[in-house]
Amino acid sequence: MAASWSGSASNYGAAAPRAGTSVDALTRFGLIAAVAVLFSVSGGMLWLVGYNYDGLFGNPATKIHPSTYLIVLLLAWRSCTFGNPVGYLVHVADRRPASALMAAISIVLLFVVIARQRPGMAGMIDTFVAAALLVLMLSEDDERTFAGLQTVIHVVMTANALLALFEFATKTLIFPYRLDGVAFTTDLRSSALQGHPLANAMATAIYVLALLSGARSLSMPVRIGLISLQCAALVAFGGRTAMVTTVVLGGCYLLFQGIIKLRRGRVNLLGAALGFMLAALLPVVVVVAAYYGFFDALLERFVSDSGSANARVEMFELFKYLEWRDLIVGPDVDLVDSLRRINGLEQGIENPIIRTIVYQGAFFTLLLTFGFVLFLFEVARRCHAGIWLPMLGWIILINTSESVASKTTLLTKFVVLVLVLYRPARAVVRQRAQPAQT
């Protein structure tokens, strides 16, 4: 019986929390605080306290997000309280090998960036190292930690959406996006708690998709309310790709789920009645919102994209000026900057793979992409069914901007959202293991 139970546990343990694991109170509180800072503290907010996070100049230490510092400190603290720092690292690496590999690759490539004096040092730390280290720490599967993280996510994302709608209504940005202290006053899209409007739009889109197929601890009315609020905030953020991705993927998911429930004959009468009532009220809400100009900014974004669509075409022109050696190991940075200006790409190269190849070379890009894909696959394996929806949305969205090829906390936010909102229920594991015990 023991062998049978062990076999059952091994089958389901990869995607389920292990019983009996816990962390100390300081580590638990620190992880919750780090995620709260991650989701609620933007570069514009940091500038107000003299911390130049989004700028090109100033103290290099300020180019790292405070949440990343917290994660590193917590890892050091947990390693010490574990009793054996090296043993702890081996322990979490054994549980999440792809995350450990992602951290190792990122750190090695960080030293390569420093040695070659190329841009992207802070990006390697904030974008990849922080995300990998946080996943390693969350591998201990402490139930109370995940419960606290779930509360923080819902509270902060709700506050973020409400602030976005307030900024949209009043045309006043509370924490505007700043570059070296200079606010972009001509861009009145909401910046809310997470800074740049497009970063807000991407995080909000992933959160909406996660609410649709995950977040099973929430009741249906609460999920509907949160989804409605976040979709309204998407309009305020003005992210066209995020809105289209959310509507298309979310609509397809709801359609398929509706067809499945109808075929099985399992229709919740209360839910159906609520759905028909909302459908009847939707035209009225749309007309009222349009009357007060709610969709004006949205239509303006689709009519005038500030050259984004053209930039996604022009970025391929850069390869005409580069030799094969430059493509493999990376061309001269000054040459790349000149080519960008010539081709009208001052605002950025809006694809992470193209940008990384142009600045770092194909070999660097291939190694980083290899670790990135394994990392995402491992994260998905730790989630329950339905994870494909936000994962597909994430893959689409990151390929429409520089995203993970530049300094961003979006990857860390993504893995937190899916690991917390798609956490497998412990009860399911116990039910599966019960027959083997008897």
Query: 99-136: per-residue pLDDT in tens?
Result: 999 999 999 999 998 888 887 788 899 999 999 999 99
For residue 282, the enclosing domain spans 21-425
The answer to whether residue 91 scores a pLDDT higher than 50 is: yes
For helices 97-116 and 85-95, what crossing angle results, to 10°?
110
Dihedral over Cα of 213, 219, 221, 225: its sign: negative
Question: Is 432 among the domain residues?
Answer: no
Q: Which is higher by pLDDT, 400 or 144?
A: 144
Centre a 10 Å sphere on the Cβ of residue 216 and count the other Cβ atoms it contains: 13
* CA–CA dist 310, 372 (Å, integer): 28
**What token pair was written down for 218?**
């929430």
pLDDT of the residue at 283: 62
Angle 402-333-239 (CA atoms, 0-180°, nearest 5)? 15
Task: Identify which of 128, 22, 27, 102 has the alpha carbon closest to the alpha carbon of residue 70.
Answer: 27
Higher pLDDT, 243 or 288: 243
C-alpha 394: how far from chain center:
8
Asked if residue 390 lies in contact with residue 210, where contact means CB atoms within 8 angstroms, the answer is: yes
Q: Is 11 inside a domain boundary?
A: no
Of the ranges 262-271, 306-315, 353-362, the best mean pLDDT one: 353-362
Number of domains in the chain: 1
The first and second tokens of residue 358, run together, are 């142009």
User: Is pLDDT at 427 greater than 50 in this prediction?
Assistant: no
For residue 369, being part of any structural domain is answered with yes
Share of the chain above pLDDT 90, in %: 46
Which residues touch 256 (CB under 8 Å, ≥6 apart)? none
186-236 pLDDT tens trace? 778 889 999 889 899 999 999 999 999 988 889 888 998 999 999 999 989
Convert the pLDDT of each residue in 304-321 to its tens digit: 555 555 555 666 677 777
Tell me the two tokens of residue 117: 């004096």
- Predicted pLDDT of residue 383: 93
Q: State residue 345's pLDDT score.
A: 67
In a domain, 9, yes or no: no
- The more confidently predicted of residues 309 and 368 is 368
Residue 408 has pLDDT above 70, yes or no: yes
Q: Are 44 and 52 in contact (CB under 8 A)?
A: no
User: Which residues 6+ apart lie within 8 Å of 282 measured at CB?
Assistant: none
* pLDDT > 70 fraction of the chain, expressed in percent and rounded: 79
How far apart (Å, rounded) are the C-alpha atoms in residues 416 and 422?
10
Backbone φ, ψ for residue 84 (5° rounding): -145, 100
More confident residue, 269 or 396: 396
Give 421 or 19, the one with higher predicted confidence: 421
List, for residues 277-312, the tens digit of each pLDDT value: 655 555 655 565 555 555 555 555 555 555 555 555
State the maximum Cα–Cα separation within the chain, in Å, rounded to a whole number.
Answer: 72
Those residues with Cβ within 8 angstroms of residue 81's Cβ, 6 or more apart along the chain or in another chain: 24, 26, 27
Q: Read off the pLDDT of each residue in 393-400 and give the average, rounded to a whole number.
A: 92
Say how far apart CA 294 and CA 235 lie, in whole Å. 8
DSSP state letters, 52-98: --S-SSS-GGGGS-HHHHHHHHHHHHHHHHTS-HHHHHHHHHHH-HH
Q: Let me know if residue 321 belongs to a domain.
A: yes
Q: Identify the band that residue 273 occupies on the pLDDT scale cut at 50, 70 and 90.
A: low
Residue 379 within a domain? yes
DSSP symbol at 182: E
Tell me whether residue 431 is in a domain. no
Residue 345 lies in a domain: yes
When pLDDT is cut at 50, 70 and 90, the band that residue 183 belongs to is: confident
Q: What is the pLDDT of residue 255?
A: 84
> Quick one: pLDDT band at residue 358, thresholds 50, 70, 90?
confident
Question: How confident is the model at residue 380, as a pLDDT?
Answer: 94
Region 252-257 average pLDDT: 86
C-alpha to C-alpha distance for 368 and 362, rounded to whole angstroms: 10
Q: Is the pLDDT of residue 54 over 80?
A: yes
pLDDT, tens digit, 9 for 90 and up, residues 7-50: 433 333 334 434 335 789 999 999 999 999 999 999 999 999 99
Give the residue with greater pLDDT, 381 vs 431: 381
370-382 average pLDDT score: 95
